[in-house]
Amino acid sequence: MEAEKIEYFRNVLIDEMKSLLGEADKTVTEMTSDAANFPDPTDRATQESDRNFELRIRDRERKLINKIKDALERIDAGEFGICEECGEEISEARLKARPVTTLCINCKMEEEEKERRQ
Ligand SMILES: [Zn+2]
């Protein structure tokens, strides 16, 4: 892939990481500031489930952040945009839609097919 395009994807990934980290910070702040404000047990229960919900979101965010880190590492290693499975180039349209992907569309479809059969 051309250096210019690599730079484009690097910026996309960094921006996405920044916004995810911004969101993650906000969640932590909201969680800690809310904790002191609900002395009533009913409210605390509601708050507890809200918190589980937040933590689930955070889990997803963390996974995505890791994927973005991996993608940035692949950029540095010169492996970005190469399918992990078959070694072919991943189409730019696919990378634009999902820059963290490590599989070309054919391998991704095969993987999904396998998962469905299990
Ligand atoms: Zn492939």
The residues, any chain, with a CB within 8 Å of residue 107's CB and separated by 6 or more, are 83, 84, 85, 86
CA atoms within 13 A on the CB side of 30: 14
Does residue 9 carry a pLDDT above 80?
A: yes
| Ligand 1 centroid distance, CA of 7 (Å) | 23
Per-residue pLDDT, averaged over 31-50, amounts to 69
The CA 115 to ligand 1 mean position distance, Å, reads 16
Which of 20, 110, 8 has its CA nearest to residue 69?
20
29 or 92: which carries more pLDDT confidence?
Answer: 92
Distance (angstroms) between ligand 1 centre and the Cα of 103 equals 5
Specify the pLDDT at position 35: 56
- The domain limits of the chain are 1-80, 82-118
Q: What is the value of pTM for the model shown?
A: 0.73
- Is the pLDDT at 34 greater than 70, yes or no? no
Mean pLDDT for 52-62 is: 84
Mean pLDDT of the chain: 88
- Return the pLDDT at 109: 96
Percentage above 70 pLDDT, the chain:
85
Superfamily for 1-80?
Answer: DksA, coiled-coil domain (1.20.120.910)
**Cα 101 to middle of ligand 1, angstroms:** 11
